[in-house]
Amino acid sequence: MIPRTRRGHAGVYLTLVGLLAASLVLSAAVGAFTFTPARIATLTAQLLGWVPAAPADALDRNVFIQLRLPRVLLAGLTGAVLGVSGTLMQGLFRNPIVEPGLVGTSAGAAFGAAIVFVFGAGTFTRPLGTLAVPVLAFAGAFAATMIVYRLSTAFGKVHVFTLLLAGIAVNAVCGAGTGFLSYIARDPQARNITFWNLGTFTTADWRGVTLVAICFVVCFGWSLRAGKALNALMLGEEEAAYLGIDPRRLVMQLLVANTLMVAVATAMVGVIAFVGLVIPHVLRMLKSSDYTFLLPASALLGAVTMEIIDVVARLIIPPAELPIGIITAVVGAPVFLAILLRQTRQGGAWLQG
C-alpha cells in the first residue's frame, strides 16, 4: 500500500530518467563537431567493444571519447552533485533558500583550489600529489560551511538573517582570497582562475569524471539513507531527537558528505551558483517536500538541467563558449528573489526560524 502523498513519485522518476537520456544524447550531439544519434550509438558501441573499432572512425572516435564524452558526463555529474547538495543543505539548514553558493561551500572550495593553482605542485601540496586540488578545495569548503552553520544555528534554531549575513561575509572573505591569488598569479593561471570562477566544462577529462563520479556515488549513496531523518529534522532538532535521531551526528555526517562532493566537483569545473537552489525548489512545487523523494529526484533533475545549460553555453556565441555560471545566475537569481518575496509575503514565520 502506498500513502496517498507518495503516489505519482514513480511517474516523476520515469519522466526524469527519460529526460536525462534525451539530454545526454542531445549534449553528446551538439558542438563544434556534430554527432548524429546514430553516430553516437556506433561510437559508443565501439568504445564498449560491442562492435570492432573501424579505422575510418579514428578521428571522430578520438574527439568523441577524449573531448565530448567526458564533458557530457562531467556536466551531468556536476548537475547531480549540485542538485543533491542543494536538497541536503536546505534540509540541514531547514530553509528553502540555502544552497552551496549561498553558505560559502563553493567559494571556500574555489579558494582552496586556487591556492593549489597559484602556488603549484612543487610547494607544500607536493605530498598530496594530483589530489592536491580536491583536498584543498574540500578543506576550504568545509571550513566555510562550518562557520556559517555554527553561526546560524545557535540554540538549536536556524536564524535566517544570521545565515544570510554569515554567508555574505564568508563568501566575501573567500572571494577576496581568490581575487588576491589571481592578482599575484602569472598570466595564464590568472586567466584560468577567472574563467573557472564562472564555471566551465571545457577542461573535462576522464580523470576528473572518475573523481567526481566516485565522490558522487559514495556521498549520494550515504545521503540517501538520511531521507527520513531529514524529514524529521523539518520539525526541529528537539522533535527529531524525540523520534530517535541524533541531530548533531546527522548534521555532521551530511555536512561532510555534502561538502566532499561539492568541493570535488567545484575543483573540477569551478563555481556554479543557483543550481542547488532551483532544483529542489522546482521539485517541491511539482510534487512534495519529502526528502526520500527529493534526494533521488534532485540528482536526476540536476543532471538534466546541467546538460541543457551546457548545450546552451556551447551554442549561444559560437565558436566561443559562455561560462556556465553566467547562465545559471541569469536563470537562478530571479528564482531566488521570487522565493524570498513569496516567503516574506506569507508572513515570514520561517524568517525567525
Partner 1 sequence: MVAGLTTMVEVEHVSYAVGRARILHDVSVRFQPRKLNVLLGPNGAGKSTLLKIATGLLTPTAGLVRYMLPQGARALDTFPVDALARTRAVLSQHVEVAFPLAVEDVVLMGRYPHYGRTPTARDLEIVAAALDLVGMTDFRGRVYPTLSGGEQQKVQLARVLAQIWNEGESPRGQKCLFLDEPTSNLDVHYQLHLLEIARGLRDVDCTVIAVLHDLNMALQHGDAFFLLDGGRVVLETEDATTIPRDLLERVFRVRADRAVDSETGESFWRFRL
Residue in 95, 197, 223, 298 binding partner 1, rule: CB under 8 A: 95
H/E element holding 301? helix 291-315
* Of residues 98 and 193, the one with the C-beta less far from partner 1: 98
Minimal distance, residue 226 CB to partner 1, in Å: 12
Nearest to 63, CA basis, from 24, 23, 31: 31
Asked if 73 touches partner 1 (CB under 8 A), the answer is: no
Check binding of 284 to partner 1 (CB under 8 A). yes
Minimum Å gap between C-beta 92 and partner 1 is: 13
Tell the smallest beta-carbon distance from residue 96 to partner 1 (Å): 7
Q: Does 345 bind partner 1 (CB under 8 A)?
A: no
Q: Quickly count: other Cβ atoms within 10 Å of residue 352's Cβ.
A: 10
d(CA 8, CA 19): 17
What is the C-alpha separation between 216 and 195, in angstroms, rounded?
A: 24
| Positions 128 through 167 that interact with partner 1 (CB under 8 A) | none
Residue from 244, 317, 319, 320 in contact with partner 1 (CB under 8 A): 244
Output the smallest distance, CB 73 to partner 1, in A: 29
Q: Are 351 and 343 in contact (CB under 8 A)?
A: yes
CB atoms within 10 A of CB 197: 20
Q: Pick the closer one to partner 1 by CB: 126 or 249.
A: 249
Q: How far apart are CA 304 and CA 311, in angstroms?
A: 11
User: Among residues 207 and 342, whose Cβ is nearest to partner 1?
Assistant: 342
**Count of residues in contact with partner 1, rule CB under 8 A:** 28
x/- mask, partner 1, residues 287-326, rule CB under 8 A, reads -xxx-x----------------------------------
Residue listed under C-alpha cell 578520438: 62
216 to 235: interface string for partner 1, x by CB under 8 A: ------------x--xx-xx
Choosing from 96, 134, 302, 323, the residue that interacts with partner 1 (CB under 8 A) is 96
Amino acid at 219: C
CB-CB contact of 45 with 236 (8 Å): no
Q: Helix (H, G, I), strand (E, B), or coil: what is residue 108? A: helix
In the complex, least distance from residue 221 CB atom to partner 1, rounded to whole angstroms: 14
Q: How many whole angstroms separate alpha carbon 166 and alpha carbon 274? A: 18
Is 184 a binding residue for partner 1 by CB under 8 A? The answer is: no
Nearer to partner 1, 120 or 221 (CB): 221
Nearer to partner 1, 4 or 345 (CB): 4
- Phi/psi for 33 (5° steps) reads -100, 130
**Residue 60 is which amino acid?**
D
What's the min distance (Å) between Cβ of 1 and partner 1? 5
* DSSP 3-state of 110: helix
Per-residue x/- track, 15-54, partner 1 (CB under 8 A): ----------------------------------------
**What letter does residue 205 receive in the DSSP assignment?**
-
With CA atoms as reference, report the closest residue to 100 among 134, 169, 148: 148
**Least separation, in Å, of the C-beta of 240 and partner 1?**
9
The minimum distance between CB 253 and partner 1, in angstroms, equals 15
Contacts of 13 (CB under 8 A, 6+ apart): 296, 297, 300
- Yes or no: say if 82 and 100 are a contact pair by the CB < 8 Å rule: yes
Q: Determine the longest span between alpha carbons in the chain, in angstroms.
A: 67
238 near partner 1, judged by CB under 8 A: yes
- Which is it for the CA torsion 315, 316, 320, 326, positive or negative? negative
- Binding span for partner 1 by CB under 8 A among 64-72, 92-100, 173-181, 261-269: 92-100
Summarize as ranges the residues that interact with partner 1 (CB under 8 A).
1, 3-5, 94-96, 228, 231-232, 234-236, 238-239, 241-246, 284, 288-290, 292, 349-350
